Amino acid sequence: MAQIYSLTPIQLLGCEVIYLTYNSPIEPLVPRRKYNRGIKVLEEFIVPFIHKALSLDPAELEKISKSERSFTFLHALAAYTRDPKVIRDQIIAVLLAGRDTTAATLSWTFHELAHHPGVYSKLRQEILSIVGTDRTPSYDDLKSMKYLSHTSTRRSDSTLPSPSTSASRSQIPHCHP
């Protein structure tokens, strides 16, 4: 019996693009110079942080994990594995995934604020009363702004589900769930 996978049309397209890009006769013709330059810039930025985290012994990592303010995702990765390539791959994945979701969240928030001037006014008043106009907000400032927290996480409209397509394994031989 064929196993059925539920994939969105975008996921199916992604599988085909990956297959055609890496397993086709045109693969050598696909330009990668800009991509490789981008990866090099990312690596030059994150590798020193990875080395610094890996220079900590497990006891130091355990100590850091108990203090909330200085604990980072990088520390958690260094405690989980000592392989710099695994840590690098995870950090790049989070950076790339975070960029799009942050952009989408900010776009949606600004869209909603533009359509709700009362909410915008209340949010602006909270920010001005805590931070003022002449300084950058601190971490503690941001944590204390309750209205800001609720404004940036509140979603009044539900996200529409994306259409999905069911396909048997034989229909998508190049994708693995």
Residue-wise pLDDT for 101-142, tens only, equals: 888 888 888 999 999 999 999 999 999 999 999 999 998 999
Q: Where are the beta strands (DSSP E) in the chain?
A: 4-7, 165-168
The CA–CA distances, whole Å, from 72 to 26, 61, 76, 101, 142 equal 42, 10, 7, 19, 18
Enumerate residue ranges in the chain where pLDDT < 50: 1-2, 156, 158, 160-164, 169, 172, 176-177
Quick one: pLDDT at residue 161? 46
Q: Name every residue whose Cβ is closer than 8 Å to that of residue 42 and which is 6 or more positions away in sequence.
A: 92, 95
Cα 75 to Cα 18, 42, 84, 85, 86: the distances in Å are 32, 18, 12, 15, 13
Look at residue 147 and tell me if it is in a domain.
no
Give 123's contacts (C-beta < 8 A, 6+ positions apart).
113, 147, 148, 151
Residue 84 included in any domain: yes
In a domain, 9, yes or no: no
* pLDDT at site 158: 46
Give the structural domain span for 67. 32-115
pLDDT at 1: 46
- Domain contains 23: no
> Is position 109 within any domain?
yes
Looking at the structure of the chain, the number of domains it has is 1
In a domain, 148, yes or no: no
Which DSSP symbol is given to 70?
A: T
- Predicted TM-score (pTM) of this structure: 0.53
Q: Distances in Å between the alpha carbon of 141 and those of 40, 131, 145, 174?
A: 35, 7, 6, 49
What mean pLDDT is reported for the chain?
78
* 16 belongs to a structural domain: no
Q: What is the reported pLDDT for 86? A: 92
Tell me, yes or no, whether 123 lies in a domain: no
- Cβ count within 10 A of residue 107: 10
Can you give the pLDDT at residue 117? 94
- The predicted pLDDT at position 103 comes to 85
Residues present in the chain in total = 177
**Contact of 42 with 92, CB cutoff 8 Å:** yes
